[in-house]
Amino acid sequence: MSGFSFDQLKASFGDKRVIGPLSLKVNDGEHVALVGKSGAGKSTLIKLLYERLTRDASLVPQGLGLVNALPVFHNVFMGQLDQHPLWYNTLTLLRPFRKDRAVISDLLNQLGIAEKQWSPTASLSGGQRQRVAIARALYRHAPILLADEPISALDGPMAHLVMNALTERFHTSVIALHDVDMALAYCNRIVGIQDGQVALDQPASKLNASDIMTLY
Amino acid sequence: MFSYPTVRASFLFLAIAVAGLLVADITITTANPWRDLGQFFLGVVTPNFFSTEGLLTALLRTVAFGFVGVTLGSFFGFLLALLYRFMPVRIFCAFIRAIHELFWALIFLQFFGFHPLTGVLAIAIPYAGIFAKVYSEILDESDPEPAQLLPKGTHAIAAFLYARIPDCWVQLRTYTAYRLECGLRSSAILGFVGLPTLGFYLESSFSQGMYSDAGAMLILFYVLIATMPLWVRPKVLPVYILAAPFFLGEGFPIVWGNVERFFTEDIVPAPLRNGEGLAAFSSWLGDVMVSEALPGIWNTVVLTQIALVATGILSLLAFPLISKHFGGPVRRTSGHVFLVIARSTPEYILAYILLQLWGPSMLPAVVALALHNGGIIGHLIGRQTNTIHLRPDAPQGFARYSWELVPRVYRSFLAFLFYRWEIIMRETAILGILGIYTLGFYVDSAIQNIQFDRAMILILITALLNIGVDILGRYIRRKLALQTMPTC
């Protein structure tokens, strides 16, 4: 079971309330798209959810949180640091084990960046960096995905490929998206955020793009 | 102009320095100072590299002490950096780095004698304190987000190795390499208290008037420092580190009885040691304060303030020498050579040479401190001006200097200067060993008179004075909103 329910979600920046208080219940198997104007509080809501779900969630934050000096392989491998003993992780830093190399190389291949496995992350383009953060979240393989604009730097076909992979691999997800068509295509529930409150909450099948545009 | 706080602060410090000049002793006492200086320069241009075989040994020992000291310092400094958020650790580090390498050497000499451990610890201890501070600042600047994203349950050490270290690895490495260069300078001057490094041979050739030998040593030292990027390579570094302890020399064995006596008797204040009670102790302490500490503090502060302002003036005069906004390639190359020599020569060696030539007064100390520190700051500021793009029709010559460049770099110039304030004071205190009446003079005399209790009190006072100036310097930098990276 990977559904969750939280009441009294709220956050302030200084004196200014940016989110909530609001309640959010996500059922097992739901793919929720968070939509709304920039500054509406989507990123803050994702962060609040991650603070509460930690162990059960893979996170793709907007800032990506990559270690620029490490190669792509190690950035992805960091998704499973908790799965291995310290000596194993330390050795991997110096010389990765073959079975991990195979798994991660597979994953990068699916995302179209296989040839970048040993490049320092700092040398990648914006779209490639975004895919490294996505590969890390996939490799982490938590039951729930929390992602903040995970396809903002990807072009058409790659964006579809990534959204497909994310919604297929994760049973349950909450994804902040500014692309309304993508939200309708890959998620089964749309939650619209306005001024830190839930302004819209409908199954995707009951909405079309113009319904959502009222939020913007 | 006086509406700028930076300008007001500058003139305040200038006024203090001018007032200091009125009370300071800055006479030249030798009969023929310029002839002596000329003979010295003649010696430098006619170096004699083959006078003694001791020269190469001294060079080897200098490198060995530098490597072992800096390696130990960086190792323990790194461990301390991990605990640096705890106040007692911060205070401990501030204290051990407030005591100059030479003072540490003087302390260890009293109980370890001329054992290699004396030189190694004299470098390793203050360096550990500095490494701890700078490493922790570098680690704090790394991006916290990757660590927050790690799965819960990740071992703290694994998290540190993956999410913190790689991000600041380059900075850690650059700073450590830079401190290694400082370590070689520290190692060289340890010779002045009798350890078998370059300073020892420099002092003995100087005292015998063999300027060509001294010149050869200085030239070898510059070559050693200037070629560091060539011979200090990451691949061979482990070899150096493992080999260095075997090239420290034998020295003399440690007499453990001396060690015990030093801690249980020598450094216990005399009235307490003799059981004369607290009243005798307080009159003893009063005597130390009035006859040694206060004059020492006064002279140290006066000399520091003069040297600080002289450093500032010299830096402002020197930076155009290497700035691409002035002159041609010939002048810039010679400017670079001058600044490299000025900043690679330890101020202690400069002061020693000038003192031999001009006789004991504050003047040689001021000139030495200004040359060395001015060389460092001038180099940093000059490099900074090379990143400035002037409009094509910008004025030339002095107008370019005073209207275009100085206003642009003045804040970072002040930041570097106030950063080095505490370093200048630490050096000023230590120059007393050469015979100028700063705190080091009274420490050295107390040790000569086998009054280690007095020496320890005076070293403690010196450390507190340095910590005080460090805090004041940081307060002023914060007040004027100046930021800087560490320089040694």
pTM of the model: 0.84
pLDDT of residue A176: 93
Question: Between B149, B151, B167, which is nearest A80 by CB?
Answer: B151
Identify whether the C-beta of residue B288 lies closer than 8 Å to the C-beta of residue B270. Answer: no
- Model confidence over A6-34: pLDDT tens digits? 888 888 887 788 887 888 888 888 999 99
What is the predicted pLDDT for the residue at B78? 96
Residue B202 lies in a domain: yes
Residues (pLDDT < 50) of chain A are: none
Taking a contact as any Cβ pair under 8 Å apart, which residues of chain B between 169 and 198 contact chain A? Answer: 169-170
pLDDT at site B485: 58
Q: What is the pLDDT of residue A1?
A: 58
- Rounded Cα distance, A105 and A89, in Å: 18
pLDDT for B163 equals 92
Terminal C-alpha separation, chain A: 34
Is residue B86 in some structural domain?
yes
Nearest by Cα to B182 from B70, B15, B310: B70
pLDDT digits (tens, 9 = 90+) for B133-143: 999 989 988 88
Q: Is A54 on the interface with B (CB under 8 A)?
A: yes
ipTM value: 0.85
pLDDT value of position B486: 57
Which domain covers residue A153, as residue numbers? 4-213
Residues in A touching B138 (Cβ below 8 Å): none
Spatial neighbors of B460 by CB under 8 A, at least 6 apart, are none
Task: Tell me, yes or no, whether B40 lies in a domain.
Answer: no
- Is residue B44 in some structural domain? no
- Calpha distance A185→A147 (Å, rounded): 16
Kindly state whether residues B205 and B260 are assigned to the same domain. Answer: yes
- List the CATH number of the domain containing B77: 1.10.3720.10
Q: Are residues B153 and B295 in the same domain?
A: no
pLDDT score recorded for residue A101: 93
SS3 B232: coil
End of a domain among B266, B296, B324? B266
pLDDT of residue A132: 95
Share of chain B above pLDDT 90, in %: 41
CATH code of residue A51 = 3.40.50.300
What's the rounded Cα separation, in Å, for the pair B101 and B96? 10
Last residue of a domain, one of B229, B248, B266: B266
Whether B167 sits inside 8 A of A68 (CB atoms) is: yes
Residue of B nearest to A87 (CA): B158
The domain total for chain A is 1
Q: What is the pLDDT of residue B457?
A: 92
In a domain, B37, yes or no: no
Take residue B457 and report the two structure tokens written for it. Answer: 């009190």
Chunk chain B into consecutive blocks of 10 residues (it has 488) and report each block's average pLDDT, rounded to whole numbers.
85 93 81 80 84 82 95 96 92 92 92 91 96 92 87 89 91 90 93 90 86 87 87 88 87 80 82 83 90 93 96 94 83 85 88 86 92 92 88 86 90 90 93 91 91 91 92 88 64
- Write down how long chain B is: 488
Could you tell me if residue B41 is inside a domain?
no
CB contact under 8 A, A78 and B150: yes
B26 lies in the same domain as B98: no
Specify if B262 maps to a domain: yes
- Whether B254 and B369 share a structural domain: no
> 3-class SS at B88?
helix
Question: Is A114 in contact with A105 (CB distance < 8 Å)?
Answer: yes
Count other C-beta atoms under 10 Å from residue A143's C-beta: 18
Is the distance from CB of B103 to CB of B446 less than 8 angstroms? no
B424, B466: one domain: yes
| A177-208 pLDDT, tens digit each | 988 888 888 998 999 888 888 888 888 888 77
* Both structure tokens of B75: 């190792």
Q: Do A81 and B159 touch (CB under 8 A)?
A: yes
The residue segments making up the domain with residue B448 are 1-30+269-488
Residues B204 and B293 in one domain: no
Domain end, chosen from B266, B289, B316, is at B266
Q: Are residues B199 and B58 in the same domain?
A: yes
Separation of CA B165 from chain center: 28
Token digits of residue A38: 């920039």
Domain for residue B142, yes or no?
Answer: yes
The C-alpha atoms of residue B28 and residue B35 are separated, in whole angstroms, by: 13
Residue of A nearest to B157 (CA): A86
| Chain A partners within 8 Å of B159 (Cβ) | 81
Give the total number of structural domains in chain B.
Answer: 2
